[in-house]
Structure 1
């Protein structure tokens, strides 16, 4: 065993301290802590001051942070709710995925990039951020409006869809086989993985958990801490199953989180488990990941690849906003509501940055393209609170901000 050196400890101390300070400042201005943490990594990392540096210890903590973060994201999603979100949310999710993904992939292909790089540009442009939207809607006090329900539902479906597509893309890249048979094999492995985990998670896990809980209660072993340990073991098992299918471990963590929510646990134990995973992910390990993500960013893209950066930004705005708006038109939503929802869907965030960091670690994209895609996530997320606030004010002035009740929909006056 190699003991941690004093430099490792100081490095970790600085990373956590700066992540906490800059994350708190970002939240003070109604932005995700993630943005402050990345900014801390840019300022104090190799890009500028060089006070922070990468190390094996930080890399391990960061990877565990990504895994825990995806478990937590999964726990925020109710599988059964996905089937009850209605056509409006589904249309928004489809429009917010298809157009930006197509624009991203097409741009990469036209610029002579590899298929793999083009796919990663497409999925980066198609990504969205459920957590960011939730915070903004709470701050604006419009959770009881129709656009809020559709926006959250669309973002929820989009997050799940993005990760499924990401699973297929990474499986395709790992196989390295572009023949019809190779693509079929990748799709089959992904299908088998999701089929197996669906049976394990939705059918077997609640039964196993209930029996285990009864056994532990009988012998006095049940407590909140042991429940968290079992949850972590379940998540690691799902991660291993994902690895067997040649999928990234974060897919396993995400799916495990969804099924832990469905496991019919004792409410007090589940709430404790949820809180512990949230605190460990958001308070300790994920901040390390977001600070260290900035270590690989190159500020040179603002001078050496400014044209590509601007192009990606324009396509990300156009694709997400127009795609969401266009697919909202056939629904009961008004044209203005569709446009405001598109403005809300435009913010990327956690999932997108995790995906492109995986692409960098796999050697699919280089530092320049990685930097462009991360800066795109930062810029689009930064503008969401401003644009959505302006959009909501616009709806109010037009008397098209539709409020919902438990029993009926209150339509705008004509």
Structure 2
């Protein structure tokens, strides 16, 4: 009781337990209360920080915990922004991102410099304050994340523009700050650029290599999460060591790890969950604590300065988004989304104003006085509020449109059934299914284990496999339905389950030979290919899929005339998007054109290079272009179908000869029940002639 009274009655609260409880209460209740008022949760966090902070009711001090978690949250925002980017989209829109970034820097810098000169500030102070207007932090990015719009073009452009604008701002900060250091040399800027370039190159080369090695050796999601977080802080710390802000390092680490952490993976879900639940809200509350409302009452001139900052900041960012939209003929919603994301200030703005505040001039005054510091706090608050409201409004409209489009699609086209039999391939198959499914789909995955009627021990082992599959799905925030089925025949059990669940795809592992007399596919897979007319995906993963850097897709001639061609193309596009890797397609001209047309109409982000290929009887030329980090995808065809060719009889032999040490995926696209001349008895799994 003594501890309670001494901690709560006497403000500010200093007991760590109660500090953490109050922060968690704010994180919990602020979004719930403000959602009724249609106020973004981000705004609520900042206002809560004002109320409980030193300049409000002083319930809490801005102690070391807010410094620590706030910095983690700041790095998290920048890291998530680059990690969520679709790098294939970025390759196509890098010109737009560069233009938006340059305009987001130049417009505020020029307008701000003129306004600051008119207010009577010196050249150095005017440049530093103008660079403060030019910066922006992706405060509203969690809103985009919440609505599942992270891979839209406008978002990628805004995120790409952020790194351009903030890098230029940080360079200005380093130059102006360096001018007032005692031991600054004439080559200070040159050495700074060289250090940043060298460090950036080291991160780009070394970090992806480290990630691939680590992910291949350790599959525990918690260990992987700690490893990723360590890389983020290592990159941020090294960037601070060479004289730049750590946010640049965190952003760069997100870019280089982008391909190693697919959006649908459990690891990505862990990263998003921890950041959005704790670190980012902590940072936002800490930002609110910096705002001193009383200072505006004591000094009315701060209102004038803050008004100029807000006017210049909002106008210049809107102009940058407007010019980008008009230049590339984008939609109004895309312009508003770019404006909403690039309008908020926090990280780089705080860095600029604090550096200027700490610089003491020869006459004893500060380069940026207290009025600039307090005005900057109001500037940060208003821009964050405007950014949150604009982004929330645009995301609501875009989300409604996306939902309507999704509702119009056939829901049966995303029901994946995973056949589990080998404990060693459970994790690999479930992770593959997560990457093949449609993102944000409400349809659960289905995992099946078929047990022969006279084998109760296998049933127990199968239940353990299904339980493990459920845990992997839950880690990725995906519901997975399990089914343990007794059957006199494995093929009939799988076939019946496919019909009962109206499954669109059957995913299973590649048969492992136990005897020299075994065939490549094995009897079970061969019978399934004949018995199941839905799409069958046979997967063999030697290395984790998230370490794949390239896909080679072999497509038979006339495959575009098969009924399951579009569905197969859809699955390949989803996989390429998750892996953020390039795709090389091999086939006839007409077939390649049909595949490319589908991807351009449905998945513009897929970057594919076409190769007209005719040497199907020997795949050695393709094998020479592959490496251990590549995935080989062979689209096959059932006997009697239009795209079936005689060379397919030798595919198993060629796979064993050329791709035995590669990840391989063999796809049999969906066929109509009457497409083949042979079918299989569901009960006996013995091929019989159709009458």
TM-score grouping bracket, smaller chain normalisation: 0.7 to 0.9
Deviations 1:32-58 (A, max 9, x none): 432110011112323332222222333
Bigger helix fraction: 1
Unaligned runs of 5+ in 1: 393-404, 410-414
For the pair 1:407 / 2:600, whether they are aligned, the reply is yes
Match of 2:296 among 297, 301, 304: 301
* Number of the residue aligned with 1:276: 270
Distance across 1 between alignment mates of 2:382 and 2:121: 18
The alignment covers a number of residue pairs equal to 375
User: Superposition pairs for residues 236-247 of structure 1, below 5 Å?
Assistant: 236-247=233-244
The C-alpha deviation readout for 1:249-268, integer Å capped at 9, x for no partner, is: 22222211221213x35x59
1:302-330 residue CA offsets vs partner (Å, 9 max, x unmatched):
74422222222222232222333235444
Cα offsets for 1:325-345 (capped at 9, x unmatched): 235444445xxx46x654443
Q: Is the 8 A contact 1:323 1:342 kept in 2?
A: no
Contact conserved, 1:128 with 1:155, CA < 8 A, in 2?
no
Q: Max radius of gyration: which structure? A: 2
Partner residue of 1:290 out of 284, 292, 315: 284
Deviations 1:103-144 (A, max 9, x none): 1233223323355653454344334565637846986x9x79
> Match of 2:380?
374
Q: Which stretch of the first structure deviates more once superposed, 91-100 or 381-390?
A: 381-390
Pair 306,167 (structure 1): closer, same or farther in 2 beyond 3 Å: closer
Quote the Cα distance in structure 2 between the aligned partners of 1:385 and 1:248: 26
Aligned ranges 1:7-86 → 2 under 5 Å: 7-26=15-34, 31-79=39-87, 81-85=89-93
Residue 238 of structure 1 deviates from its aligned partner by: 1.4
1:228 equivalent in alignment to 2:225: yes
Q: CA RMSD in A?
A: 3.9
Of 104, 112, 126, the match for 2:134: 126
Q: Which 5+ residue runs of structure 2 have no aligned equivalent? A: 1-6, 8-12, 359-367, 399-597, 603-691
Secondary structure of the residue that 2:85 maps to in structure 1?
coil
Partner of 2:309: 312
Structure 1 position 358 matched with structure 2 position 351: yes
Mapped to 2, the partners of 1:27 and 1:191 lie a distance apart of 48
The question of whether the paired residues in 2 share the 8 Å contact of 1:128 and 1:351 is answered with: yes
Distance in 2, matches of 1:182 and 1:312, equals: 33
The equivalent residue for 1:396 is none
Q: How far apart are residue 22 of structure 1 and its match?
A: 1.4
CA contact (8 A) 1:19 1:40 kept: no
Provide the rounded CA distance (Å) in 1 between the counterparts of 2:221 and 2:315.
47
Q: Does structure 2 conserve the Cα–Cα contact (< 8 Å) formed by 1:71 and 1:257?
A: yes
User: Would you say the 8 A contact 1:26–1:32 is kept in 2?
Assistant: yes
Quote the Cα distance in structure 2 between the aligned partners of 1:234 and 1:389: 31
Question: Distance between the aligned counterparts of 1:279 and 1:118, measured in 2?
Answer: 41
Q: Using the alignment, how far apart are the partners of 2:120 and 2:181 within structure 1?
A: 17
1:199-231 deviation digits (Å, cap 9, x = unpaired): 432x333333333344x35xxxx4112212221
Contact 2:137 2:348 (C-alpha < 8 Å) held by counterparts: no
- Distance change (3 Å), C-alpha of 1:189 and 1:387: same
Task: Tell me which residue corresponds to 1:205.
Answer: 207
Higher RCO (C-alpha under 8 Å, 6+ residues apart): 1
Partner of 1:100: 108
Q: Give 1:353 deviation, angstroms.
A: 1.0
TM-score (norm 2): 0.47
Q: What is the distance in 2 between the residues matched to 1:133 and 1:209?
A: 25
- The structure that is strand-richer by fraction is 2
